[in-house]
A and B are shown apart, each in its own frame.
Chain A
Amino acid sequence: MAKRIDVEDVNVYYSEFLAIEGASIKIAPLSVTAFIGPSGCGKSTFLRILNRMHEVIPGGRVSGKVLLDGEDLYGPGVDPVNVRRTVGMVFQKANPFPTMSIYDNVIAGYKIAGSKKNRGQLDDIVEQSLRRSNLWEEVKHRLNRPGASLSGGQQQRLCIARAIAVEPSVLLMDEPCSALDPISTLAIEDLITELKATYTIVIVTHNMQQAARVSDRTAFFNLAGVGQPGKLVEYDETAKIFSNPTQRATEDYISGRFG
């Protein structure tokens, strides 16, 4: 089931460099939250701490608390592998596994992890996941073709199918549409709206119209200057952020007067 996320006063580091300082946020279950902000402000980094992907980068570490339904992701004894099973992720660049077919890509989470599901169960998972990512009709006749044979937009939807096939509670999306044309972008935005019924979704985007279209709440990140840590400036209802933000920096960024 979808879960809520509470981040409490988190600092994020790359080795000694403080990338994000003192960020706190409460994300409700079954909602879409958008992270916006200029490049390098730490919004992708902040997204990656929500499923402990930040520590994959050498020197990456976090202080503070990230609670998933009240359970601290960084508590003692927590296995990052289990965290990532609960909190799925879709990346900026579509990255289907090049050695696998479309079918195998969708069930990669089970297949690579060595799950003992039988063929019938896997068939069901593939069909369901592809249907929910709006890709089924396009690929149902060629499930055994390589995942890399699809177009960029289809590949990204394949990656979304792969992420939801393992039934996470939260879905993180790191600029999922930045490499896609407007039609594929629209397909993925529609998909996000549909997926909201089942998942808690957090999306990083550079496209402010996109944030306004798909999200319920929006967080604006900013940094004071080069070498300074990024900060969470404002977090509120999307409608309020885009019409009547309380912070001056947010208003400048939204209206394009920034910098």
Chain B
Amino acid sequence: MSRPSNAATAARTPGVPNKKSDLVGARLPKWAPYGAGAGAVVLALGLRSLLDWTGWYTAFFTAAVLFIVILTAWSFSVEGRRRAKDRFATTLICSSFVGAIVPLVLILGYIGIKGVSVFSADFFLKSMNGVTSRQDGGGLYHALVGTLELVLIAAVIALPIGILTAIYLVEYGRGKFAKAVTFFVDVMTGVPSIVAGLFVYTFLLLGFGMRPFGAAGAIALAILMVPVSVRASEEMLKLVPRDLREASYALGVPKWRTIVKVVLPTAMSGLITSSLLAIARVAGETAPLILLVGYTARINFNPFSGDQATLPMMVWDQLGKRSGTTSNDLTEARAWGAALTLVLLVLILNVGARLLARLARPKTH
């Protein structure tokens, strides 16, 4: 076997000179991934100047592919087939992770940088009423009020339905009807939000001849929330061990009391998480709101009458106020500000979900 000398020396057992151990295989040096990476970058840069590529995207992806190829081939020649496969898989998984995280960080970073410049106390406390696209000032108070009200109404409608359906599916559902419910919940998960909007538009606004109002949008959001809530709550309820239900039955406790006093408290932590994630899922929904809620620059506290502003609609409104193709810094800044507020709202919901879930988790100490 021809192996590099440093690996061969390392492979010798200290007490038994010149005898090669069967347990120690040849390994690439620790810096091998970095070396392969540097080599790939240099090669890609060389190719770029050689072939007159413009821009950096092609060079970047060439470097990435070269990195995987170089490291795997090097590993194969030194470490053998199994290790080479391991290197290949590790590299692939790590680059997928980077590929997934980079756009996320870029989006959040960009929104953060663009949005934070417009943040001020006024921005959160004033509406856009009377503020023209060429004027400074104004704020998103009206949109924040609308989004919070709509999401709250949607949650009040959807979460009880979602959680009760999940309880039905986990605790009572048997046979064809339960299978049908599961099937339709799955189908509903994939319903585009504009379809939910259209449904409410047809039955509520056209059917009763009403003008757009906040609660109509909340109903559409609730329709979108129910399947998310059902699926997530169902998983959480399934995590409650059978043992606990049986222990309760064996004490002579009726089934409904077992569900209320044993199953739900045990799953409470997960149910809180699933509910807040369902809320976060619809908080940024826009399409149904265009049809059902409209937009207004004024503050409207009443979700049951008149157009209401929401954060996603404010982003849309402000960006739409650009004059032609020329950008307008004032409206764009406000749009980014509203977008950042929406992201922060979802972030707060997520963090809040985790904190609440931690508080509700069963303790062992």
List A residues at the B interface (Cβ < 8 Å): 51, 53, 56, 58, 81-86, 88-89, 91, 93, 95, 97-99, 108-109, 111-114, 145-146, 148-149, 159, 162-163, 166
Q: List 24 A-B contacts (CB under 8 A).
A: A56-B249, A58-B174, A81-B254, A84-B252, A84-B253, A95-B244, A97-B244, A97-B262, A99-B262, A99-B266, A99-B362, A108-B248, A109-B251, A109-B252, A109-B253, A111-B261, A112-B253, A113-B253, A114-B257, A146-B362, A146-B363, A148-B362, A149-B363, A162-B247
Q: Are A95 and B241 within 8 A (Cβ)? A: yes
Q: CA of A61 to CA of B219 in the docked complex: distance in angstroms? A: 44
Find chain A residues with CB under 8 A from B182 CB. Answer: none
Q: Which residues of A contact B94 (CB under 8 A)?
A: none
Q: Mark B349-365, 1 if CB is under 8 A from A, else 0.
A: 00000000000001111
What 10 pairs across the A-B complex have the smallest Cβ distances? A85-B252, A98-B362, A89-B250, A109-B251, A95-B243, A112-B261, A99-B265, A84-B252, A148-B364, A95-B247
Interface size range of chain B in the complex? 20 to 34
Complex Cα distance, B261 from A109, in Å, reads 11
Distance (whole angstroms) from the CB of B72 to the closest CB of chain A: 47
Q: Are the C-beta atoms of A149 and B364 separated by less than 8 Å?
A: yes
* Inter-subunit contact B258/A112 (CB<8 Å): yes
Q: Which of B227-262 contact A (CB under 8 A)?
A: 241, 243-254, 257-258, 261-262
The complex places the Cα of A177 from the Cα of B201 at a distance, in Å, of 63
Q: Contacts A95-B244, A112-B257, A149-B365 hold; do A84 and B174 have CB atoms under 8 A apart? A: no
Chain B residues at the A interface, C-beta cutoff of 8 Å: 174, 241, 243-254, 257-258, 261-262, 265-266, 268, 362-365
Q: Tally of A-B residue pairs with Cβ under 8 A? A: 87
Contact, CB under 8 Å: A108 / B265: no
Q: Which residues of B contact A86 (CB under 8 A)?
A: 252
Contact indicator B252/A93 (Cβ below 8 Å): no
The residue that B251 contacts in the complex, of A88, A114, A148, A149, with Cβ under 8 A, is: A88
The 8 Å CB contact of A97, one of B252, B266, B268, is B266
Among residues of A, the one whose C-beta sits closest to the C-beta of B247 is A95
- A163, B364: Cβ atoms under 8 Å? no
How close is B356's CB to chain A, nearest CB, in angstroms?
Answer: 15
CB B75 to nearest CB in A, in angstroms, measures 46
Chain A residue with the shortest CB-CB distance to B268: A99
Closest to A88 in B: B250
Given the known inter-chain contacts A91-B246, A114-B257, please indicate yes or no for A146 contacting B365, CB distance below 8 A: yes
Distance to closest chain A CB from B357 (angstroms): 14
> Are A81 and B247 CB-contacts (below 8 A) given A99-B266, A148-B362?
no
A183, chain B: closest CB distance, angstroms = 22
State in angstroms the CA–CA spacing of A111 and B261 once bound together. 9
Residues of B within 8 Å of A83, CB to CB, are 252
Give, as a whole number of angstroms, the nearest-CB distance from A155 to chain B.
Answer: 11
**What's the Cα separation between A149 and B248 when bound, in Å?**
20
- Taking a contact as CB atoms under 8 Å apart, the answer to whether A53 and B246 are in contact is yes
